[in-house]
Amino acid sequence: MTKTYELVVILDPELKTEEQEKLLAKIKKIITDLEGKVSSTKEWGKKDLSYSIAKKKSGVFYILNIEIPPAGVVSLRQKLSLEEKILRYLLVVKEA
């Protein structure tokens, strides 16, 4: 049984477009390796942050709607936390 989640990631603003796409592909691969799937990806673009994160004053925002088994969530969080070019992420359960 999978649950639907909304994943918001803030990427390092200094990444080039192709590096952002490579990192997003890596995130999607992590999700599929955990028996999940990405139903949609939306780019919010570069936005100023309310406060600095890792000495960065802005970040590139992406929203991914994903389905993943609850058992894979812990592993997903660990792998996202280890990725240096992800400034922050937020994973929340979407109610049906």
Q: What is the pLDDT of residues 3-21, one digit of tens each?
A: 999 999 999 999 999 999 9
Residue 96 scores a pLDDT above 70: no
- Average the pLDDT over 51-68 and give the result: 95
Cβ atoms < 10 Å from Cβ of 6: 14
Per the CB < 8 A criterion, the answer to whether 83 and 5 are in contact is no
**Which residue's entry shows tokens 């969530």?**
73
Residue 95 scores a pLDDT above 90: no
* Mean pLDDT over each residue of the chain, to the nearest integer: 94
Nearest to 31 by CA among 76, 1, 70, 62: 76
Which pTM value belongs to this model?
0.92
- For residue 1, what pLDDT band results from cuts at 50, 70 and 90? confident
In order of start, what are the domains of the chain with their CATH numbers?
3-93 (3.30.70.60)
- Average the pLDDT over 33-37 and give the result: 94
Portion of the chain with pLDDT greater than 90, in percent: 93
Q: 8: which strand partners?
A: 63, 90
What's the gap between Cα 14 and its chain centre? 17
